[in-house]
């Protein structure tokens, strides 16, 4: 089974090729911008000797608006007519990276860049102030790029909380989750951007211009 993983949700972008359960090659760039130029070249490097694929797995968010659209568009383009596109949430990719957390509940905390975080505790993300995350009696492990701040917040309340090593998603983990979806061990998501906040853009008060005539 050959699965290509693609990620551009946070402050880096990556592409990885999984062959029969093993990541054979990957490319990573620590760039928060220009993903639409970087990702196609990175994918082409991995597929130049053999472009056959059984699936393309892509992180659907939440995360960077531009990064999500660039990576998801590339995934659909590469898969068109030959294999399925498998949507993977950032929480699923980071859970794969975090590995065994000793039976703790795994939370994912993502910096929303607006003084808030996107927090996943039960399979769905919600936006909130980090100070509004309530103390918990459960044993918790936390991953994501806002994990350090959230661990500090909860530890100060006496919570039993563990910081995982999983901060930034990697395409290798996305590909591994995608393979599990292809094998029926996990349910895939629609490969469309997962947004937590509503879009900031608003229509003009008078509506959009009518289409040109002729």
Confidence tier at 214 by pLDDT (50, 70, 90) = very low
Record the tokens describing residue 29, joined without a space: 């760039």
Geometric angle at alpha carbon 16, from 62 and 10, rounded to 5°: 25
Across 40-69, average pLDDT? 94
| The dihedral formed by the CA atoms of 28, 95, 111 and 164, expressed in degrees to the nearest 10 | -90
The structural domains of the chain, with segments of one domain joined by +, span: 2-90+168-182, 100-163
β-pairing verdict for 140-143 and 161-163: parallel
Across 155-181, average pLDDT? 96
Note the pLDDT of residue 206: 58
Q: Name the helix (H) or strand (E) containing 125.
A: strand 125-128
Q: What percent of the chain has pLDDT over 90?
A: 75
Does 143 score more than 80 pLDDT?
Answer: yes
Predicted confidence (pLDDT) per residue in 145-161, tens digit: 999 999 999 999 999 99
Predicted confidence (pLDDT) per residue in 68-100, tens digit: 999 999 999 999 989 999 999 999 999 999 999
Geometric angle at alpha carbon 73, from 61 and 29, rounded to 5°: 70
Between 3.30.420.40, 1.20.140.10, 3.40.50.300, 3.40.640.10, what CATH number should domain 2-90+168-182 receive? Answer: 3.30.420.40
């Amino acid at each position: 089974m050959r699965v290509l993983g693609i990620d551009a949700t946070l402050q880096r972008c990556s592409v990885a090729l999984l062959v029969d359960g093993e990541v054979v090659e990957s490319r990573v760039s620590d760039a928060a911008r220009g993903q639409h130029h970087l990702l196609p070249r990175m994918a082409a490097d991995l597929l130049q000797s053999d472009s056959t694929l059984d699936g393309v797995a892509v992180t659907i968010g939440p995360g960077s608006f531009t990064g999500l659209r660039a990576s998801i568009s590339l995934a659909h383009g590469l898969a068109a007519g030959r294999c399925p596109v498998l949507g993977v949430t950032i929480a699923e990719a980071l859970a794969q990276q975090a590995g065994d957390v000793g039976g703790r509940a795994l939370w994912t905390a993502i910096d929303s860049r607006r003084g808030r975080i996107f927090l996943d505790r039960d399979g769905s993300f919600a936006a909130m102030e980090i100070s509004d995350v309530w103390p918990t009696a459960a044993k918790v492990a936390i991953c994501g790029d806002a994990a350090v701040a959230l661990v500090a917040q909860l530890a100060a309340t006496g919570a039993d909380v563990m910081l995982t090593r999983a901060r930034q998603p990697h395409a290798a983990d996305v590909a591994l989750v995608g393979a599990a979806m292809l094998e029926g061990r996990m349910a895939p998501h629609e490969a469309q951007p997962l947004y937590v906040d509503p879009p900031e853009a608003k229509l003009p008060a008078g509506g959009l211009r009518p289409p040109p005539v002729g």
